[in-house]
Amino acid sequence: MSKRSFNKDMLDDRNGSTDFADSVLSVNTLQQFAVTKKRCLSFHGEKITNVVEGTTSHIGLEEEAVETQSLWKRFYKLECELNAALRNIVVPNNITHVYNPLEYASNLHCAYLRKFLNGPKSVVFVGMNPGPNGMGQTGVPFGNITTVRNEMALSGSVQQPVSVHEKRPVFGLECTVEEPSGARLWSLFKKLAGGSLSIFAEKCFVHNFCPLICYDKAGRNITPNELKGDYKSIVGKVCLDVLDLELDLMQPEILVPIGEYMNAMVKRSRHVNRLKIYKLHHPSPRSLNNQNWPEKAEKLLEDYDLVKYIRNEF
């Protein structure tokens, strides 16, 4: 994703607020958003890079009737539409690099979808965005290297972002740094599923709300909840619209937002009155009072009566 300069007339951060609900969009911003959505909705006639059975090929989305495609392919098309929309949103000056692993790690990401999104899901866990050493390397949500390579048994090539920050290299499955949040999350799911992530995937799926990783000049990771003003608002709106479409496809009974930001965002979903929503604390060791996250999370999942879904026991 190429760097774009910040248009202050369009994305004027008037009050410096980081609250999605408090940010007021200007007329120019709304017009830009409308154009973005129009481009997004018309994206079906364009060509995208798709990954089928481990090979990369270009296919016209109009060539295969939507109703005849597997669920994971339809899901991936929605992700491609999201990518197209996000590319058309101007980026503020304080963000110097934007990574999108759905694009440069599409091979591994589609391997994940093909294996773990083979049908509708009862429970969908939704995280905020990729971690630098998790999905940022593997294309798999919370996808720390050991889990993706050894537990999920996924393989595939990972390319490079359009512009790489010198402090934030991408090594794919050759990365030697584990993502702590991913290691915690997937280890807990494996434990509760009796040692098998395939059993977990029968009824459950893990997804990330926003595919972008934003870095400032110093290489600091700026998460979606730390974005400012209209940029935060527009990115949140576009991602939420696509999440609603993805939920249409997966038809879950239960949605589990991971962390405070996602808990606030899913309450704006048009599915909010249909779904049971249970918040799970974010597994990051950086979060306050989060030293015993596995134990606390396991108790919450038991209290929510979600363990039976994780174990596929009905």
- Mean pLDDT across the chain: 84
What confidence score (pLDDT) does residue 287 get?
79
What confidence score (pLDDT) does residue 170 get?
98
Instruction: At 238, list the tokens.
Output: 């576009």
Going 234 to 236 to 238 to 240, the CA torsion angle's sign is: negative
Give the three-state DSSP class for 243: helix
For the stretch 256-286, pLDDT in tens is 999 999 999 999 999 999 999 999 999 998 7
Which backbone phi and psi does 258 adopt, to 5 degrees? -105, 105
Span 91-311 CATH architecture:
3-Layer(aba) Sandwich (3.40)
Helix 106-116 to helix 71-87 angle (10° resolution) is 150
Could you tell me the pTM of the whole model?
0.81
For the stretch 184-202, pLDDT in tens is 999 999 999 999 999 999 9
* Residue-by-residue pLDDT tens, the chain, 314 positions: 444 433 333 333 323 333 333 333 333 443 444 444 444 333 333 333 333 333 333 334 444 555 568 999 999 999 999 999 999 999 999 999 999 999 999 999 999 999 999 999 999 999 999 999 999 999 999 999 999 999 999 999 999 999 999 999 999 999 999 999 999 999 999 999 999 999 999 999 999 999 999 999 999 999 999 999 999 999 999 999 999 999 999 999 999 999 999 999 999 999 999 999 999 999 998 777 788 999 999 999 999 999 999 999 97
What confidence score (pLDDT) does residue 220 get?
97
